Amino acid sequence: MNILIMGPAGVGKGTVSQSIVETFHVAHISTGDMFRNAIKNNTQLGMEAKSYMEKGLLVPDEITINMTKERIMQDDCAEGYLLDGFPRTLAQAAAFEDIAKETNRPIDVVIDLTISIDQLAERIVNREICKNCGEIYNTVSKPSAVKGICDKCGSPLVHRADDNLESLQVRLSEYDKLTAPVIDYFDAKGLVIKVNAGQSREAVWADVKQALEKFVND
Find, among 145, 142, 146, the residue nearest to 128 by Cα. 142
Minimum CB–partner distance for residue 150 and Zn ion (Å): 3
Which of 50, 105, 171, 209 is the catalytic position?
Answer: 171
Find, among 117, 60, 189, 15, the residue nearest to 5 by Cα. 15
Contact pattern from residue 84 through residue 123 relative to Zn ion, giving x for each residue in contact according to CB under 5 A and a dash for the rest = ----------------------------------------
C-beta separation of 2 from 106 below 8 A: yes
* Cis amide leading into 87 (omega within 30): yes
- Of residues 132 through 151, those in contact with Zn ion by CB under 5 A are 132-133, 135, 150
CA distances from 49 to 45, 63, 93, 173, 183 (A): 6, 7, 20, 27, 26
> With binding defined as CB under 5 A, does residue 164 bind Zn ion?
no
Give the single-character DSSP code of 56: T
Contact pattern from residue 5 through residue 34 relative to Zn ion, giving x for each residue in contact according to CB under 5 A and a dash for the rest = ------------------------------
Query: Binding-site residue total for Zn ion (CB under 5 A)?
Result: 8
Catalytic sites, residue numbers: 13, 88, 127, 160, 171
Which residues of the shown chain bind Zn ion in the complex (CB under 5 A)? 130, 132-133, 135, 150, 152-153, 155
